[in-house]
Structure 1
């Protein structure tokens, strides 16, 4: 059932588990309340029909409790106190049967509550695994810089880079996830995710072979540069995803493309000007060698 709900709704397994714990708490509290209310109405003992309800009314004459829903509400109040181990002590057992039921409810409720709390804490702790990994990376980075006694300016640059690279790490984890898919799904996901960027490339925008475009999309690799770093890989297609760079006197912003001439056979005809990152920059890149490997399977496009 859990996997079906996750597949249909898109909810995370952690969210579904938390909802299961809520339902388990409500379900347990309801049945404990029903049992406790039943004792108030039908427990006949040697104490001349004195039950927990009679004792409660003698101690608290207001508000008057007589209707079934009122008894259930008070019983629900008692059941959740017992289940969560709060125990205010204003509703207590009075007959031996009630003492026995209390013992059973406390044992069952204690185990249920311990199970819920233990699992809920574990789920909440790991509900955002990317943030958890990022924080651990930053702690490892600080330890490394402290051990190696790096200069303060370099430490600031490294922290800034890793703070900005948080998004890049998510993209890398997405690629690992895509690698676990079937070949057809890999292609569909890669094309859907990268289609806006691929349309910026002139020789891909006019390509009629969808499978070739899919292979290009699957081969795009993410990479990040810090401010003032040089983007100088020769014969490489660059597509800017985040940040600003400068190249040949022009500002390259999100969606900017250069290196399209990697398809030329003569190196002398290629524009080999490098770009400089003005801010933190994330790009997708495709080197010429990788394009050549793809073209081996698509001779018509290679021609």
Structure 2
């Protein structure tokens, strides 16, 4: 950014700037050498052959890198004598700004070659929305700076009695107001050249303005797309409730159910994700999510890994609102439940007694899997509950694949029947 200022203001550079300039030239030169030794990905395969790497580099960024790093100021006399040009050739370093494209590309390629965690972190940061935003800020700021420097070059009399900082700030102000199509008119072109330059900047500014509006609208619409989808779903539910004339108390419970789903799951529907996952990955995710849940069940505790893998695949998510009756005393049993979040009360309806309260990590209704007795107690959601359900039919199908485990279950069933005859209640194990 300093090079255009040096050209339009013709100020002398102090030794400190020259020192930093030499450092950057050395770094750019080292970068050129490293690029000849840096492989590239082709169809996700890393190519390290020196001839192929050099050929690709010559065809891509070598020319830009060379012009950016070459010390034209050192050889200024030579270029002036033979080519009639001065050290303004250093403006070619502006080409280095184009390398920002290669930076983002390189980071993405680096992510492709790294481990899964590194890939996720890099691609999460350099996602398309982030890239577009950074790209826009970078180029608009740089272009506004270049336009301001161009205005100073074409208008040497502009605030000529003021200091360099004031002239630059006022020129940058003209650049921004023109590019954004605001144009207050307090700084206007005087000559034909200035007028043509201003028209050119205006045309570019219209494109930038359209790009800004389109991108801001896109960014805002993607800030929280899941919330927008949830609101659309809630509007559909409200229309359904009004159309069907559902009573107010029931309508409120339905709305509360979906609002609780949003607050606890942020609009994520597990079933949609589940259907898209390949079977092998689905099993791994299921084991991670549910292995602890099924390990607390006594008759699953000593199950083989293969059996657990089959069980977790059959678990289905289901949520209950506070106060929902999950099942009632005397119901025909069909499922057992694992509590992933929330708590429930075990109730003896005949007396209204709360026998027990179960919390996250507990289970209930397990006897539904091993015998056909009716429910001996009711279960009510004490808070909003996220549970996973294992049906008796799925469990029995699993048992058919594991005869030894099926024998053990029959023994447990006989033992639990003897126990229930003594207490008269299905004891909810923890």
TM-score (norm 1): 0.76
Distance 1:271 1:148 in 2: 34
1:33 matched to 2:120: no
Asked if the contact 1:221–1:284 (Cα under 8 Å) also holds between the matched residues in 2, the reply is yes
Residues 149/181 of structure 1: CA separation in 2 closer, same or farther (3 Å cut): closer
Give, in whole Å, the separation in 2 of the partners of 1:302 and 1:141.
44
Q: Please report how far the alpha carbon of residue 75 of structure 1 lies from its aligned counterpart in structure 2 after TM superposition.
A: 4.4
- 1:216 has 2:311 as partner: yes
Cα-Cα RMSD:
3.3
Aligned position for 1:242 = 341
Q: Deviations over 1:237-261 (max 9, x none)?
A: 2012233321141112222211334
How big is each residue's C-alpha offset from its partner over 1:46-74, in whole Å with a ceiling of 9 and x where there is no partner? xxxxx1x633x26xx6xx4326xx66555
Q: Which residue of structure 1 aligns with residue 323 of structure 2?
A: 228
Cα distance between partner residues in 1 of 2:273 and 2:215:
25
Taking a change above 3 Å as real, the CA distance of residues 227 and 168 of structure 1, as seen in their structure-2 partners, is same
Summarize the alignment of residues 181-192 of structure 1 with structure 2, pairs less than 5 Å apart.
Answer: 181-192=277-288
CA 236–112 in structure 1, closer or farther in 2 if over 3 Å, else same: same
Deviation at 1:275, TM superposition (A): 0.9
Aligned length in residues = 283
Alignment deviations for residues 106-163 of structure 1 (CA, whole Å, 9 cap, x no partner): 2223223312322331342243232222212222232233333333323322222222
The answer to whether the aligner puts 1:128 opposite 2:240 as a matched pair is no
**In the alignment, does 2:289 pair up with 1:193?**
yes
39 and 130 in structure 1: CA distance in 2 versus 1, 3 angstrom threshold: closer
Alignment CA distance shift 1:155-1:183 (3 Å): closer
Which one of 368, 381, 392 corresponds to residue 288 of structure 1?
392
Residues 226-284 of structure 1: CA distance to partner in whole angstroms, max 9, x if unpaired? 343322272422012233321141112222211334453x434x865331223332211
Instruction: Give the Cα separation in 2 of the matches to 1:28 and 1:36.
Output: 12
Query: In 2, distance between residues paired with 1:274 and 1:301?
Result: 29
Is 2:356 aligned against 1:253?
Answer: no
Q: Could you tell me how far apart the structure 2 residues matched to 1:298 and 1:32 are? A: 72
Q: 1:3 to 1:196 in 2, by over 3 A?
A: farther
- In 2 relative to 1, CA 36–158 (structure 1 residues): closer, same or farther, beyond 3 Å? same
What residue is the counterpart of 1:267 in the other structure?
372
What residue in structure 1 maps to residue 205 of structure 2? Answer: 109
Q: Aligned pair in 2 of structure 1 residues 8, 296: CA closer, same or farther (>3 Å)?
A: farther
2-structure distance, mates of 1:295, 1:116: 62
- From the superposition, tell whether residues 75 and 150 of structure 1 become closer, same or farther in structure 2 (CA, over 3 Å): same
Task: Compare CA radii of gyration and give the structure with the larger one.
Answer: 2
1:63-102 map, 5 Å? 64-66=162-164, 74-102=170-198
Residues 230 and 276 of structure 1 are in contact (CA less than 8 Å); yes or no, is this contact kept in structure 2?
yes
Q: Specify the alignment match of 1:47 in structure 2.
A: none
- Give the distance between the partners of 1:3 and 1:296, measured in 2 at CA: 49
Q: Which runs of 5+ in 1 are unaligned?
A: 44-50
Greater mean alpha carbon deviation, residues 165-174 or residues 211-220: 165-174
Q: Which residue does 2:53 correspond to in 1?
A: none
**Residues of 2 paired with 1:146 and 1:157: CA distance?**
14
Q: Does 1:152 align with 2:248?
A: yes
Q: Does 180-189 or 91-100 show the bigger shift?
A: 91-100
Report the equivalent of 1:8: 121
Hey, what's the Cα distance between the residues in 2 that align with 1:26 and 1:153?
A: 55
Deviations for 1:185-242, whole angstroms, at most 9, x for unmatched residues? 2222222233443333334443341x43233223221112234332227242201223
Asked whether the equivalents of residues 336 and 391 of structure 2 are also in contact (C-alpha less than 8 Å), the reply is: yes
**TM-score, normalised on structure 2?**
0.56
Match of 1:54 in 2: 157
Q: CA deviation at 1:170?
A: 5.1
Moved more, 86-95 or 134-143: 86-95
